Structure 1
Amino acid sequence: MSNNLKAILGPTNTGKTYFAIERMLAHSSGIMCFPLRLLARENYDKITKILGKDKVALITGEEKIIPKKASYFCCTVEAMPTEKKVEFVGIDEVQIAGDSERGYIFTDRILHSRGTKETVFLGAETISSKLKALVPGVKIEGRPRMSNLSYIGRKKVTRLKKRTAVVAFSAADVYTIADIIRKQLGGAAIVMGALSPRTRNSQVEMYENGDVDYLVATDAIGMGLNLQIQHVGFASLRKFDGNSQRNLTNPEIAQIAGRAGRFLSDGTFGVTDYASEMSEQTIDSVENSKFDQISHIYWRNSNLDFSSIGNLVKSLEVMPSEPYLIRKNDAEDFRHLLHLSELKDINQLAKTHNEIKLLWEVSQVPEFNKQLTNDHVILLSKIFEQLILKGRLNNDFISNHIFRIDKVSKDIDTLMQRIASIRTWTYLSHKNNWLEDTINWQETSLTIEDKLSDALNIELTNRFVDKRISVLGKKLKENTQLLIEIKSDSSIYIDSLKVGEINGFVLKLTDTTTPSSDLFLKNLKKGLVDEIKQRVKIFYSIEDERLTINDNAKILWDNFPVGWLSPSDNIFNPNVQVLNSDLLNQDQIHLITQRIKMFVDNKIEKNLSQLIDIKEEDFDNSSRGIIYSLKEGLGTTTIKNIFKAYKEISDNDKKEFSKVGLRFGVRYLYMPDLLKPESVKLRALLWGIMNNTYYNAALPDDGRVAYTPDETAPNDWYNKIGYSKLGDRVMRVDMVERLLALIRVAAREGTFKITEEMLSIAGASKEQMSKVFLDLGFENTDKNKKNEITFETLFKKKQKKILFKKKQKSNKKNNLDHKSKNKNKIHKNNNEKINKNSPFFVLSNLKLKN
């Protein structure tokens, strides 16, 4: 029998796995055990290409493909069909027997799994002494590495050469490093133990195809990834092993570093920015494959007693017979068993040999989603109860758990958690005697896992790969031209990858981060030269209807911004600024500026020419002051502002003012044509440009002559757009004049009342109208101002308050004489100032009733 036992030991890249598979296929049947589901699947795929799918089986905890005529089995160590008799048995990475987590399973396979004709153990040379102790008579054959592995020291992550794998020992560190590489070097593929095989394969394929030149991984990279890696950089030399932070051992460093340089190609390894220094002894050990022998290996009794739960626990606690064997006392399945055994319902259901054996099987359902909760034990208890009481898991129970996981997310960690959760149900779906419709649930769980895996691959790629640099790099490697396609919606594609769009004349990248290589933008801009040239030509000849000015003075071409207006020394002639674009040259900017200028001039001419075209030189000095005030008010000014000049207008100028469309009211001088909606908006816009402030929320809706004010806008601003803020209403100035006309008619007897027509003009309630009256100079005659305002409430013109300077000495008679004289003087002055033809004369002679 000893002649059939062989161990092929040596470092990575010695061809051990290739030799074992070749030996297996030389027999009529065989089992090859791998440490990872990924490796089992990878080698299954290789062998099926040689023999066909009907002769090869795949058995892992979550995947079972077993053709009826299968003679060769690729499986994980845990899922190995130990009862099957085959001619060849191969066990890969047997040095894992020294691992505190999974070592006891490898030890069990080393002790008990044999081929009828040949058994081969593969692994590191560090296990040789323990193999001899476990399997006396085993023939050990050493194999040297096919290529050299050299230490090259410390390198910053951003200075690492292409085809480098950076290794970190936490997801957070992997993400941080990958972010740096994306920003500086274009992107990286991600490999972590928590990734599903499908996601991992997609990421690896991206690296192997040359879409990215860097890979960031956890120590999951240490086994079975035969990639085109030239250098391995350690981001840390410490890891958390499930219990505490510890230094990596030399064999662990070698296992990971050995990924660099495959077959006959030499490789290098080193540390990155923040890792501690690697000792000379470690470097020498890794370069020359010189390591201490494993001092102990893990073991657990496999001869279990199912007569009672207590006896089962005792049989799992049996101590090993050899001092170099360490009993595994905290395995996940053992912890599950202990927790379940504490539940009263479980104890009542698990009495017989078969029931306790079933309880042990249920305890072995893996907790892929490593959460620090009791949820998994609760799930296992429900599974056991249903199996005992109903013989099968209820379909509603299964679907409730499975379909709550079937949700795609944009968050990487959430996706990984859901993949871990569905893996539990993928594992359960392969328990043929536990489910009624195993094939259906296998397909369902696998479909969900694939969907989540694809979503995870997309999110990893979106976050950690600059696809622009990936595409460019590939084209440069292939020495082929970068093909740029511009769609009808202005989207820009490079080899089916949308990289951005042209908004007007501005390039907007889909990925807003700065590309890590200037070559990308340089090549992209070069490919857009003809497109921009054609766009400028079209823009110069377009109709005005295709251009608009938004509320913030931006110029839009078919809704895309192309420029904006800025202040000048003439409010009616704002400056034109073209939106900054690296795609435009100075001649093109000049043409765009000219076209925008023509559009703006046409718009101002159309809406404000009546005001702008008034020529001051055609009027006398007094009238010129009025025109100045009117233009300063953008078409509106108060009579109060121009009262002195108004008195001195010549008859000829009055006629000329009438011809150009001016209207003199009691309160305002205005131009009716400039109160149209388009003119109002343009007036507000020009004021906003000049003052760099826009009160867009305070603008009236088109056609509204009265509305509720926006408190952020100042009173003067409303005047500039042809409106007036009175009380808590805003009214167009021509409506204010109409309201004053109604008041004049109603107040012939001195007092007046609110009418429906007044309310209609102001769009106001009676209470609001009383406030409008107050700002117009009228007050409520009711001494109790708190009374409700009705149609019977009387209003009158407010009395002017006369303020006098206080004298130190005075008597009552002198004071009365003084008031009388001043009153007469005031009336005299007022009579002198007010023109009898003015509407103010009418208001000043209103007879007020007490």
Structure 2
Amino acid sequence: MQQSSVKAVLGPTNTGKTHLAIERMCAHSSGAMGFPLRLLAREVYDRVRAIKGDRNVALITGEERIEPEGARYMCCTVEAMPRDGGGRAFIALDEAQLSADRERGHIFTDRLLNARGREETMLLGAATLAPMVKALVPEAEITDRPRFSTLKHIGPRKLSRLPPRSAVVAFSAEQVYAVAEMLRRFRGGAAVVMGALSPETRNRQVELFQNGEVDYIVATDAIGMGLNLDVTHVAFAGLTKFDGVRTRRLDPAEMAQIAGRAGRHQKDGTFGTLAGGQRGGTPPEFSEEEIYAIEEHRFAPITKLFWREAEPRFESIGTLIADLEAPPADEVLRLAPEAIDLATLKRLSQEPFAAQIRTPGMVRRFWEACSLPDFRARGPDVHARFVARLWQDLSEGYLGADYVAARISELDNMAGDIDTIQGRIAAIRSWAYICQRPDWVLARDEMASRARAVEAKLSDALHARLTERFVNRRTTILMKSLGENASALPITLDDQGLVKVEDETIGRVEGLRFHVDHSADHADRKMLLAAAEKALPRLLGERVDRLLASDMAGVTLSRGAIRWGRQMLATTTARENTAMPVLEPSADVAKLPEAKRMALMEALESWLAAKLAPLEPLEKLQQAARATDTGSQGRALLLNLLSGHGFVTRERAGIEHLPKEIRPFLRKTGVTFGALDIFAPALLKPAPRQLLAALGTDRRPLEEAMLPVIPDRKSLPAGYRHAGSQAIRIDLAEKIFRKAHEARAAAQASGDAPKKRKGGARNARKFTLDLALPISIGLEQDNAVRLLGQAGFRVQRARPLAEGAYGPARPDLWEWRPARRQQPQSRPPVKPREGSAFAALADLVR
């Protein structure tokens, strides 16, 4: 192979290395690219597929395999990448500087040394890898690429002062959650990206940030592995991390790898630390040397790469372990630290079942089982027990489809918090990896499909939990909109009165009053009110238009107030000489634009006028009181009747001096002169009485239905008179009195009424009275007697028939005695106190 066939493209982040490799691969007849993350492999797979078509591109990772028949291009993780290139024309290795990584470095080193394209091989990585490329691949042509944009240090920033489109990098899940929670409180929320998330969840969270739903993203150092984000600033929440062995400070190259995510293409970026990023200590800060190294992209070169035998012998488990622990021959290579796969192999080699593994085929199969990644990150002991259980089935042949389906079904549960769902995703990734092995699982394709489906569902559930916990979409939208153009907020009002900003509820309008959403905390209330006030004139105007178009549907009158639902629109104030009151707009109506306010008040007046139609008899009485031919005595009576809102007792009516010729006129206006009361019968019906109470004009108790007879009450409803243990409507009481007088008059006219006993008035006549009318109305007999007694009727109970006598019972006898006018008693003059001035004056008068 010619020297020019191997090219090393080295440089900092944002130099277009990956884009160049994609272009070169698409220019060849076939190719493969290896990436450090499944997420990156998927991203490039989508890009190449858009160029070459779905049938020509494959995606191969540990947990996912999309391999159309005859696919010429392959995007894969480094572990799934063919060691020798697979005979493809083009091979590219991304992030090749990870050959110096303690955990996975030996895999990158092996691909760097052995994976070659038939026509072209491209090694992509940091400039620090150049000495290793010269030493290990001397035929490679090294090309340096400068960064498209500059990177500048701007010092520490508080969370509340982070610039938009910022990424906060933390180095533990607890710190990621704490920072994201504070960002939700201060800035509306943040997307979350961690290595423990599934690729689908990470994609969904990155999408939240990329499409602008949130302006901040909180991530672990996995963000430095080539994630293409529109980040303008990177803030470090800390500068130390646990690398699997100890907690250490990041070296400048690692800092630059992360900080380099700021700025894309020609857009410059900034980096700094997060003020208060470490609890209980001083904020982290870069040294001057580190700042210079990051800004100028000058770092110490890599001097050693990790290596492990990629093709060990499988003669026995001991031989396999010896080969995996054999030191490298080249002095620039270093034996890789014991990885989880080797630790698992060494632990299980001590188990009794290991003695049964003798043939090279069994040893190879056992090593493949021990190479299962520890997705759950439970540690070597827990992972070794899982592999041991897996080997029990693999040693006998295949995993049964029923067994695998049952394990997958156990994880098909979307309930739980973030940590619970993350644990299930890690577990299902293990089974997705197992199902990808062609010689491990029966019905491999079906089981792999099931595992991917459950992982997708769990990823959706985890994305929903993360968004629910760390993203306040409403606050994010409002802050963004208020910052750009507050007058152009997309605020809408739906038919239920909900006020929304891009489908996020910020409150509700009841009537014409805005109420902030009850779920908003104290910090958000001011912002929600500020946003709503910008659009309230327009929204309330639309609300008024809907009310007018509905013919005032839902508007009610109660206690002198006109309400729409629970919202007061206007109050009523009684006006002299007319039943139509004066309307005063409420404070909320007064805030409406003038045109809308006038239109609403006119509509309310029209609605109220129609509503008060049953009060026409009252209006007629008021007109009669204003007439000049009513006379002073008639006007006095009408004013008393109006002040009683339709009825008044004769004692309070003042009719002693009312001329008889005025009475016909008053009767035409609807006045009835009763035995005990003077009233307007039309105003004793349910509708007028309800309206008088609703207007607040008559504040006495109201009987809604104005039933003829009701139980007696301590507070007598308007329009009723006591009748013993019951109360009767005034107009019906007058019918009973009139019926009694008619019976008395008929008895006197016929002359057959019995004489009254001695001692009574000579002209008093007794008569019989049938109580069928009051009883039919609903009065009890004793209560009817008490009611008639108020009008001067007295009853003499008939004696029962003597014992042994037969015949009809004797009727009760009634008599009527008109009420006598009580003459005022003359009081004797009061004698002045002796010696007072009034006593002396009395002497002078005498």
TM-score above 0.5 = yes
Alignment of 1:118-137 (within 5 A): 118-137=120-139
**Aligned to 1:610, which of 694, 708, 713?**
713
3-state SS of the aligned residue for 1:306?
A: coil
Secondary structure at the aligned position of 2:253 is classed as: helix
What's the offset of the Cα at 1:396? 2.2
Letter in 2 for 1:365: L
CA distance in 2, matches of 1:260, 1:413: 29
Matching residue of 1:673 = none
- CA deviation digits over 1:575-617, x for unaligned, max 9? xxxxx999996999x99xxx9x9599989655999334599xx
- The letter of the residue matching 1:157 is L
Query: Equivalent residue for 1:364?
Result: 371
**1:43 equivalent in alignment to 2:50:** no
SS at match of 2:377: coil
Match in the other structure for 1:667: none
Summarize the Cα distance change of 1:483–1:131 in structure 2 as closer, same or farther, 3 Å threshold.
closer
Distance 1:21 1:583 in 2: 65
The Cα shift of 1:244 comes to 2.3
TM-score normalised to structure 1 length? 0.63
TM-superposed deviation, 1:374: 4.4
- Cα deviation for residue 190 of structure 1 reads 1.6
Aligned to 1:246, what secondary structure does the other structure show? Answer: strand
> Aligned runs of 1:209-288 on 2, under 5 Å?
209-274=211-276, 275-288=283-296
2:184 match = 182
Cα distance between partner residues in 2 of 1:177 and 1:542: 52
Q: How does 1:502-521 map to 2 (within 5 A)?
A: 502=509, 507=515, 509=517, 511-513=519-521, 514-515=523-524, 517-518=527-528, 519-521=530-532
SS at match of 1:542: strand
AA matched with 2:360:
H
Does residue 317 in structure 1 map to residue 319 in structure 2?
no
Asked if the contact 1:163/1:231 (under 8 Å) is kept, the reply is yes
Is it true that 1:522 corresponds to 2:533 in the alignment? Answer: yes
Give, as a single letter, the amino acid of the residue that structure 1 aligns with 2:411.
I
Letter in 2 for 1:409: A
**Identity of counterpart residues, as a percentage?**
41
Residue matched to 2:393: 386
* Aligned residues of 2:11 and 2:147 also touching (Cα < 8 A): yes
Residue 404 and residue 374 in structure 1: after superposition, are their counterparts in 2 closer, same or farther (change >3 A)? farther
Displacement of 1:376 in angstroms is: 3.4
- Residue deviations 1:111-170, cap 9 Å, x none? 211112222111111111122222233222211111111111111111111111111111
State which of 422, 430, 448 in structure 2 corresponds to 1:424.
430
Aligned positions of 1:617-636 closer than 5 A: none
* Structure 1 unpaired stretches of 5+: 548-555, 564-579, 616-654, 662-850
Q: Map of 1:726-745 to 2, 5 A cutoff?
A: none
Structure 1 contact 165–214 (Cα < 8 Å) conserved: yes
What is the aligned-residue RMSD (CA, Å)?
Answer: 3.8
Residue 377 in 1 paired to residue 388 in 2? no
Give the drift of 1:72.
Answer: 1.3
TM-score (norm 2): 0.64
Distance 1:536 1:177, change over 3 A: farther
Instruction: Say if 1:132 and 1:138, in contact at 8 Å, map to a contact too.
Output: yes
- Give runs of aligned pairs for residues 660-671 of structure 1, distance below 5 A: none
Rate the CA distance shift 1:523–1:442 in 2: closer, same or farther, 3 A: farther
Using the TM superposition, give the Cα deviation of residue 224 of structure 1 relative to its aligned residue in structure 2, in angstroms. Answer: 1.4
Aligned to 1:468: 474
Q: Distance in 1 between matches of 2:380 and 2:514?
A: 53
Aligned to 1:756: none
Q: Aligned equivalents of 2:175 and 2:295: distance in 1?
A: 26
**SS, match of residue 426 in structure 1:** helix
Does structure 1 conserve the Cα–Cα contact (< 8 Å) formed by 2:167 and 2:231?
yes
Q: What is the aligned residue count?
A: 593
> What code does the residue aligned with 2:430 have?
T
- Following superposition, the deviation at residue 381 of structure 1 comes to 2.1
Q: Verify the 8 A CA contact 2:540 2:592 in the aligned structure 1.
A: no
Counterparts of 1:248 and 1:610, CA distance in 2 = 87
How far apart are the structure 2 equivalents of 1:144 and 1:232? 20
Partners of 1:583 and 1:395 lie apart in 2 by 71
1:811 aligned residue: none
- For 1:96 and 1:170, locate their aligned partners in 2 and report how far apart those are by CA, in whole Å: 21
Provide the C-alpha distance between the structure 2 equivalents of 1:363 and 1:562, rounded to a whole number of angstroms: 75
In structure 2, what residue type is equivalent to 1:356? V
- The 1:189–1:60 alpha-carbon spacing in structure 2 relative to 1, beyond 3 Å, is same
Q: Is the 8 A contact 2:82 2:115 kept in 1?
A: no
Using the TM superposition, give the Cα deviation of residue 479 of structure 1 relative to its aligned residue in structure 2, in angstroms.
9.2
Are 2:170 and 2:219, in contact at CA under 8 Å, matched by a contact in 1? yes
Deviation at 1:351? Answer: 1.8
Counterpart pick for 1:171 among 164, 173, 177? 173
3-state SS of paired residue (2:314): coil
Tell me: CA distance 1:403–1:604, structure 2 relative to 1, closer, same or farther (3 Å): farther
Q: 1:106, CA displacement in angstroms?
A: 0.7
Q: Contact 1:167–1:235 at 8 Å: present in 2 too?
A: yes
SS at match of 2:19: helix
Q: Output the CA distance in 1 between the equivalents of 2:555 and 2:712.
A: 24
The 1:273/1:603 distance shift into structure 2, 3 A limit, reads farther
After superposition, the C-alpha distances for 1:296-333 in whole angstroms (9 at most, x for unaligned) are 22111123121111211111111122444222232111
CA distance in 2 between partners of 1:363 and 1:28 (Å): 37
Q: Which amino acid aligns with 2:472?
A: D
Structure 1 window deviating more from structure 2 (536-545 vs 9-18): it is: 536-545
Q: Name the amino acid aligned to 1:398.
A: V
Does residue 408 in structure 1 map to residue 414 in structure 2? yes
CA drift of 1:382 comes to 2.8
